């Protein structure tokens, strides 16, 4: 069963624009919410993660916004660059349960 719903499935953004990917989860026991970036032919790589005790975390151009009451979190990529073109996965985990979103293919046009 899909416990983490991710949208959109694909996203096209102009260089310099803001990319926003959203995820929603169901299991309130989840306590760790990472985002992974995957380039073609490579394994997913941890990009940024957040715990539910904070509402926002920023690392460079990447920001996670977290809404615990709505059980939603999102990834914002500021000043998107062509090199950001990849597939992004949200995930949620807690204890021995972990689920991934279906992925968002981001294309940043020059």
Partner 1 sequence: DTAVSQTPKYLVTQMGNDKSIKCEQNLGHDTMYWYKQDSKKFLKIMFSYNNKELIINETVPNRFSPKSPDKAHLNLHINSLELGDSAVYFCASSRVTGYEQYFGPGTRLTVT
96 binds partner 1 (CB under 8 A): yes
7 binds partner 1 (CB under 8 A): no
89 binds partner 1 (CB under 8 A): yes
d(CA 3, CA 9): 16
Among 24, 50, 103, 108, binds partner 1 (CB under 8 A): 103
User: Which residues 10-29 are close enough to bind partner 1 by CB under 8 A?
Assistant: none
d(CA 12, CA 43): 22
The nearer residue to partner 1, 96 or 110, going by C-beta atoms, is: 96
d(CA 85, CA 41): 13
Residue 107 CB, shortest distance to partner 1, in Å, is: 14
């Amino acid at each position: 069963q899909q416990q983490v719903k991710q949208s959109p499935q694909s996203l096209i953004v102009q260089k310099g624009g803001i990319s926003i990917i959203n995820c929603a989860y169901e299991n309130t026991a989840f306590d760790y919410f990472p985002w992974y970036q995957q380039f073609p032919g490579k394994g997913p790589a941890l990009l940024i993660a957040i715990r539910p005790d904070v509402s926002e975390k920023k690392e460079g151009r990447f920001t996670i916004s977290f809404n615990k009451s709505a059980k939603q979190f999102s990834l914002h990529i500021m000043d998107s660059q062509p090199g950001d073109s990849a597939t992004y996965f949200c995930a949620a985990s807690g204890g021995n349960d972990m689920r991934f979103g279906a992925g968002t293919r981001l294309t940043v046009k020059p």
